[in-house]
């Protein structure tokens, strides 16, 4: 079967509905909030990467679906919490009201909690995975989504508000806040294949770290150059929250040059894989050129 981005999204969306449908009755409001956010579209970049890295390692893509959905649930929970008034206080997400605007802050908070914990339940449903591989996947996802990864990056980001972090400090924040979960997504894809080695895991990490940082820089550029209708979320949030960005530190032109350099480094890392990597190469360039 030929796997396209659209086919991967279709597979992920179908699986998410199944996993979200397994939640117990009697939790209607929170479940509705979870579905509202998790089934609300988006680029599905992280789970797509999980599935594709499984394929380029020579694995069966179907085996990676629970891993991919677990990653997407954690990403969605982070967006719900990120939009809350105590964080970025954004009213729009993916072209519609943020979860807390649609369901209230208390249910949005619980919906995020629900997705985070459901992610690990979903991870446990992976079939025919060796115990050692599963343990490595569990450690990878919890470590890179937690205080040593995404959550830690959010903490550093909050501390950096209304201050003037250096370029190096900003890169550290974004390698954790944005890059860590992308790294988890790529690594889990390799693990799900059970045809990986240390060299492939390292290459997947390099690819992830570079596109993750490039992704965040493009976000900073679009926050200045785009509009709410195109992005599906408010623009100007960085200025509103007095955040230091790559655009403020380097300007738009130098920021775009950095995106191009990071993208090339990501693509160059793919040479160790025996499988066709054209999908991953095209995806890296597509993300660098995205307008939303």
Q: Which whole number is the average pLDDT over 260-269? A: 98
Determine the Cα–Cα distance for residues 284 and 287; give it in Å rounded to an integer. Answer: 5
Query: Quick one: pLDDT at residue 247?
Result: 92
Query: Quick one: pLDDT at residue 95?
Result: 83
Mean pLDDT score of the chain, rounded to an integer? 93
Determine the Cα–Cα distance for residues 102 and 211; give it in Å rounded to an integer. Answer: 32
Please count the helices (runs of H) and the strands (runs of E) in the chain: 15, 2
Q: Which whole number is the average pLDDT over 218-238? A: 75
Query: Quick one: pLDDT at residue 147?
Result: 97
Which stretches within 124-197 are classed as H helix? 131-145, 150-160, 167-177, 179-193
pLDDT(94) > 80: yes
Q: Which whole number is the average pLDDT over 132-158? A: 97
Q: Which residue has the tokens 């937690």?
A: 146
Query: Quick one: pLDDT at residue 58?
Result: 96
> What tens digit of pLDDT does each residue of 159-196 get?
887 778 899 999 999 999 999 999 999 999 999 999 99
183, 144 Cβ separation under 8 angstroms: yes
DSSP state of 40: S
27-41, 59-73, 79-93: range with highest mean pLDDT: 59-73
Query: Quick one: pLDDT at residue 241?
Result: 62
DSSP, collapsed to helix, strand or coil, labels residue 256 as helix
DSSP state of 227: -
pLDDT(231) > 70: no
Query: Which of 33-37, 115-119, 187-191, 241-245 is predicted with the least confidence, judged by mean pLDDT?
Result: 241-245
- What b-and-e string marks burial along 230-242, b requiring 16 or more CB atoms within 10 Å of the CB? ebebbbeebeeee
Residue 258 main-chain phi, psi, to 5 deg: -65, -40
Local confidence band at 292 (pLDDT 50, 70, 90 cut-offs): confident
DSSP, collapsed to helix, strand or coil, labels residue 93 as strand
Domains of the chain: 5-288 (1.10.600.10)
C-alpha distance from residue 238 to each of 104, 159, 183, 247 (Å): 24, 14, 25, 10
Query: Which of 71-75, 95-99, 117-121, 187-191 is predicted with the least confidence, judged by mean pLDDT?
Result: 95-99
Q: Which whole number is the average pLDDT over 94-104? A: 93
- What b-and-e string marks burial along 107-128, b requiring 16 or more CB atoms within 10 Å of the CB? bbbbbbebbbebbeebbeebee
Query: Quick one: pLDDT at residue 246?
Result: 93
Q: Which whole number is the average pLDDT over 126-134? A: 94
pLDDT(227) > 80: no
Q: Which residue has the tokens 């509905």?
A: 17
Query: Quick one: pLDDT at residue 148?
Result: 97
Q: Which whole number is the average pLDDT over 211-222? A: 94
DSSP, collapsed to helix, strand or coil, labels residue 94 as coil
pLDDT(25) > 70: no
Q: Which residue has the tokens 């493009």?
A: 218
Rg of the chain in Å (alpha carbons): 18
């Amino acid at each position: 079967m030929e796997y396209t981005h659209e086919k991967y999204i279709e597979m992920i969306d179908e699986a998410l509905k199944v996993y979200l449908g397994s939640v117990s009755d009697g939790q209607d409001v929170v479940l509705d909030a979870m579905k509202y956010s998790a089934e609300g579209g988006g680029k599905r970049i992280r789970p797509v990467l999980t599935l594709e890295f499984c394929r380029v390692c020579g694995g069966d893509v179907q085996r990676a679906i629970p891993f991919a959905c677990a990653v997407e649930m954690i990403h969605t929970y982070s967006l719900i919490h990120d939009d809350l008034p105590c964080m970025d206080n954004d009213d729009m997400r993916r072209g519609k009201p943020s979860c807390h605007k649609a369901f209230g802050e208390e249910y949005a908070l619980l919906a995020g909690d629900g997705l985070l914990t459901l992610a690990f339940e979903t991870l446990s449903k992976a079939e025919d995975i060796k115990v050692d591989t599963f343990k490595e996947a569990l450690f990878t996802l919890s470590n890179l989504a937690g205080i040593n990864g995404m959550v830690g990056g959010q903490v550093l980001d909050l501390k950096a508000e209304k201050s003037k972090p250096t370029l190096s400090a900003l890169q550290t924040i974004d390698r954790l806040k944005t890059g860590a979960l992308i790294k988890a997504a790529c690594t889990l894809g390799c693990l799900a294949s059970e045809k990986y080695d240390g060299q492939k895991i390292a290459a997947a990490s390099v690819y992830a770290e570079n596109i993750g940082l490039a992704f965040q820089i493009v976000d900073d550029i679009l926050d200045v150059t785009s509009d709410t209708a195109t992005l599906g979320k408010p623009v100007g949030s960085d200025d509103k929250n007095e955040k230091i960005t790559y655009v403020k530190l380097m300007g738009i032109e130098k920021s775009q040059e950095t995106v191009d350099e990071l993208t090339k480094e990501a693509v160059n890392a793919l040479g160790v894989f025996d499988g066709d990597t054209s999908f991953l190469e095209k995806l890296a360039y597509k993300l660098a050129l995205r307008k939303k």
